[in-house]
Amino acid sequence: MILPIVMAGGTGSRLWPLSREYYPKQFLTVEGNLSMLQQTFARLDGIEHKDPLLICNEDHRFIAAEQVRVGGFETSGIILEPVGRNTAPAIALAALQVAQQEDEDPILLVLAADHMIEDTDAFQRSVNQAIHYAEVGHLVTFGIVPTAPETGYGYIKRGTSSDIQCGNIDLSVACSTAFHVDSFVEKPDLETAKTYLNSGDYYWNSGMFMFKASQYIAELRKHRPDILMACEKALADAEPDMDFIRVSRKLFELCPDDSIDYAVMEKTEHATVVPMDAGWNDVGSWSALWEVSEKNSDNNVIKGDIIAVNSTDNYLHADNKLIATVGIDNLIVVETKDAILVANKDQVQDVKAVVNKLKSLDRSEHKLHREVYRPWGKYDLIDFGQRDRVKRITVKPGEKLSIQKHHHRAEHWIVVAGTARVTNGDQVSLITEDQSTYIPLGTIHALENPGKIPLEMIEVQTGSYLGEDDIVRFEDRYGRS
């Protein structure tokens, strides 16, 4: 049976300012009511499979877990990568973990959590076709049937039709539409991409794969034993943390950085490509998102409160404010609570330069939104000055913030809705709507929502230093102390 491996890594730079380092694009809802991560889980419905294994960055663990829970999905575990080491090590961790917890040798379906696929039926047909090849030891990659001379994707050149020996299984139909991999090709220039498209022998490299867990481990042992050994050691020293599998940071940092393409797929003798024509897009830029989004009669994508006059071919996104445009064409305009992007649609690849500039200026807008999600709820930084900050805090029913103190700030809490159980030094009290309390500098304190509705609070911080790192945690139910 198939065991899906969902890779939910990412740095959040290509769809800035919607995506951030701590909230990358796989967590965004860009079409419909589901995030891209949730859509990845949802499109498995209709394929016989075990609960997926999710891999994500340690910093994203609570966002990922919450989106899975809210979507009504199940996982067989969540592996936390302490640092990014590319796809070959990430998949190695998954294969090794599966080998430990499964009695049989499952077929792994490796999926990226930040892809969009329009035709779920076509996706599932390709997946079901690939199973036969994976069962007999092939390492399958899914090649996207190209629709344009795209220069932003790598390509796969197909070889001869894949004629496999598989006992009594009849693969006569499948064999006519799967091929040995001739070569993997880097991103081409436009003229080369045109020749690829016209030849009919090339596919876009989707980054989706299928193979037995044991087969991937064997190939890695043959071609990159250094990666396999590093992952074995890091996983052997892993610690359970709630529903998470926390890999050893010290040991995983020693693992080489390499992609599955370079480490295994370009070296193995068992690479097979199964074509997929399912309206696939990796949403690697704002222009790509415009391409796949629903447009109005003026060819504009409209998200939020927008008035567009004599404006065509634009992507217009408003989170909080009215955006009004007059006489603009071919632009990306995106407004969030703390940033506005205006870019020519033909130059959106340079959005990364904005992110790099923010990093060089030691600003925070590349890392966090003004509204920040936490395992207990969220906070919104409403206003700030040199010695004061104002936050709106939402605590989910039954959740509790860590027992903590601050060296440089005091806090004033005002309950707007719900009930707060407040630990303030040696005292524990209930604070209800329209009541407030004061937490002096250096006092050990905690906040909890004992009720059945969300707790809404206004927090006013005052002090000489107001950074989020001025927190000393003594006890925390989310493993952050």
Same domain, residue pair 229 and 322: no
User: What pLDDT tens digit does each residue of the chain (481 aa) get?
Assistant: 899 999 998 777 899 999 999 999 999 998 889 999 999 999 999 999 999 999 999 989 989 999 999 999 999 999 999 999 999 999 999 999 999 988 789 999 999 999 999 999 999 999 999 999 999 999 999 999 999 999 989 999 999 987 654 444 444 444 448 999 999 999 999 999 999 999 999 999 999 999 999 999 999 999 999 999 999 999 999 988 777 999 999 999 999 999 999 999 999 999 999 999 999 999 989 999 999 899 999 999 999 999 999 999 999 999 999 999 999 999 999 999 999 999 999 999 999 999 999 999 999 999 999 998 889 999 999 999 999 999 999 999 999 999 999 999 999 999 999 999 999 999 999 999 999 999 999 999 999 999 999 999 999 999 999 988 999 999 998 877 7
The pLDDT value given to residue 177: 80
Judging by DSSP bridges, how do beta strands 331-335 and 315-318 pair with one another? parallel
CA neighbor of 66 nearest in space, from 283, 378, 337: 378
What pLDDT is attached to residue 478? 85
With respect to residue 361, please indicate whether it lies within any of the assigned structural domains: no
pLDDT digits (tens, 9 = 90+) for 393-443: 999 999 999 999 999 999 999 999 999 999 999 999 999 999 999 999 999
- The answer to whether residue 342 sits within a structural domain is yes
Same domain? 294 vs 425: no
- pLDDT at position 10, please? 79
Is residue 364 assigned to a domain?
A: no
- What's the Cα-to-Cα distance from 142 to each of 124, 127, 160, rounded to whole Å? 12, 9, 16
Residues 187 and 217 in one domain: yes
pLDDT at position 305: 98
Q: Tell me, yes or no, whether 104 and 218 share the same domain.
A: yes
Whether residue 210 is found in the same domain as residue 262:
yes
Q: How far is CA 455 from the centre of its chain?
A: 28
Q: What is the pLDDT of residue 163?
A: 62
* Residue 238 confidence (pLDDT): 92
Q: What pLDDT is attached to residue 25?
A: 94
pLDDT computed for residue 275 by the predictor: 96
Same domain, 318 and 393: no
Q: Report the number of distinct structural domains present in the chain.
A: 3
* CATH number of the domain to which 134 belongs: 3.90.550.10
| Domain end call among 281, 314, 342 | 281
User: Does a structural domain hold residue 270?
Assistant: yes
Radius of gyration, alpha carbons of the chain: 25
Residues 187, 330, single domain; the answer is no
Q: What was the pLDDT predicted at 468?
A: 87
The residue whose two tokens read 């005052």 is 462
**Domain residues for 437?**
371-475
Classify residue 471: in a domain, yes or no.
yes
Query: Do 267 and 303 share a domain, yes or no?
Result: no
With both helix axes pointing from N to C terminus, report the angle between 87-101 and 213-223 in degrees, rounded to the nearest 10: 130
Q: Are residues 414 and 308 in the same domain?
A: no
Dist. CA 196–CA 199, nearest whole Å = 5
What is the pLDDT at residue 32? Answer: 87
Picking from 241, 259, 281, the residue at the C-terminal end of a domain is: 281
From 281, 310, 327, the end of a domain falls on 281
pLDDT at site 310: 98
The DSSP symbol for 72 reads: T
Quote the pTM value.
0.89
Claim to verify: residue 327 and residue 451 sit in the same structural domain: no
